[in-house]
Amino acid sequence: MSPHNPYIVMPRDAVTKIAGSDLSGGSLVLRRVPADDMYVVQTVETGKDIRLPAEVPREYAALRSGDPHHAAQWIRVAPNDAHLHHLFLSRRPDISIGFKEFRELVPGVGDPGNHLGVVVTHDPDLPPELVEAGASEFAGWAVRRSGVEPLAIEIEPEVVGLAQLAGKWPIEQLAANSVMVVGCGSIGSAAAEALAGYGVGRVELVDPDRFLWHNMLRHTLGAESVGRFKVAAMKDHLAQHWPQQTVLAHRRDVVAEAHYIRPIVDRVDLVLCAADGIAPRRVVSHLSRRARRPAILACVLDNGSIGEVIRLRPTPRFGCLLCLRQQLADQGAMDAEADQELDYGTGRVHQPMTAVPPDLRYIGTFAAKVAIATLLESLHGDHTQQVPGEHAIIGLRPAGDLAAPFDLSQAGDVRWSSIPRPRASCPTCSPG
């Protein structure tokens, strides 16, 4: 197939209209998009002098652009070798067939004069072995008096989106689940995007802040969203990519508005916290424990040299954030909560972090992965995504100079460990 020949796109609606027509051929109107050298089927003659538009779903902006005035032809071929020829010629870009020869193979083809004629042939009874070999029910042709060459044709599939994963990924199970994402900064926005991509049915975003210029470098959102509230802009962004998911936006502060946050924690299956600073993480640890919901806490430490993902499960085997931090302090490890306050500042001055954008996305995606593993295991008894522990330290740009367990020395290294049992005196873990 010559790379210099245009490319034909058939919307699903055009496929249905041609396949359902009683005619043995008719006219087409193509929309031409010159910059991408593409023709999109725009109108199909379905009955004698009845020309109907082929619907292109609104989101396919490029397929709806261009200039809709190019006359073409569709022809239903009797079972013959037309599509076998197409397949053969597609693989031999140096060969074409003569116009006369083509007219014998595809009777009814119009004379292109001195122009390029575009023809779409339809062979509804393609033998399975030809389909196996790569032939298609529809074939495109560039018809010139000097010779006929095959054109690549792309047909809009019946199923697009997450449904394509049916049978290969637990999309139905995860569609029934919901996750609250606290903090829609660089890590939280990446986590939210990953959760939607994994197929979580409902994502509830919580963040009180606006998206501003200093956020842009490390965020999923871009310049178009500057000035907007992060949750609202993220909701729109996710809706564009994952239209089947429900996204709820809460412009709330998890610390100052716990009364508003509590009912959300109660109705979701899991809480993922990527908020900056000590206080929101403590609140999430506490509220999720009280609501008996698992929580995933994600952050970067030591100026972005390592990432940390903590899984808090509300069982007697595992303590809360405070229980983990107390154990680490007893061991002489760095005070990871205070380290975060240093990195992010307390709100008066925004201290620029040195973590690089893809590292933050990596941690956000990693946290979402742990969230998915937890949902599948705890709610669906599906252990195929089981993760090795409750506490992961991830090397991003480690210097190797931190105390254990943060003493990774290589980028890409992941160290898993468990977390301690609840302390008897813990205000979060102790009942009542």
Q: Write out the residues near Zn ion by the rule CB under 5 A.
A: 319-320, 322-323, 422, 426, 428-429
How many Å apart are CA 296 and CA 333, to the nearest integer? 21
Nearer to Zn ion, 386 or 417 (CB): 417
Least spacing, CB of residue 176 vs Zn ion, in Å: 30
Least spacing, CB of residue 429 vs Zn ion, in Å: 3
How many Å apart are CA 406 and CA 268, to the nearest integer? 31
Least spacing, CB of residue 337 vs Zn ion, in Å: 14
Nearer to Zn ion, 178 or 428 (CB): 428
Nearer to Zn ion, 5 or 285 (CB): 285
Nearer to Zn ion, 247 or 322 (CB): 322
The answer to whether 288 and 294 have CB atoms below 8 angstroms apart is yes
Least spacing, CB of residue 317 vs Zn ion, in Å: 12
Q: What is the largest CA-CA distance in the chain?
A: 91
Nearer to Zn ion, 226 or 279 (CB): 279
Centre a 10 Å sphere on the Cβ of residue 109 and count the other Cβ atoms it contains: 20
Q: Which tokens sit at 13?
A: 């609606």
Nearer to Zn ion, 291 or 426 (CB): 426
Q: Which residues pair with 31 in a beta bridge?
A: 40
Least spacing, CB of residue 323 vs Zn ion, in Å: 4
User: What does the DSSP 8-state code read for residue 250?
Assistant: E
Question: First and final CA of the chain: distance in angstroms?
Answer: 72
How many Å apart are CA 368 and CA 274, to the nearest integer? 11
Altogether, the residues listed in the chain come to a count of 432
Q: To the nearest 10°, the Cα dihedral for 159, 165, 167, 169? A: -160
Least spacing, CB of residue 344 vs Zn ion, in Å: 24
Least spacing, CB of residue 423 vs Zn ion, in Å: 6
Q: What are the CA-CA distances from residue 364 to residues 194, 264, 428 (Å)?
A: 8, 21, 26
Q: Is 357 helix (H, G, I), strand (E, B) or coil?
A: helix
Nearer to Zn ion, 318 or 344 (CB): 318
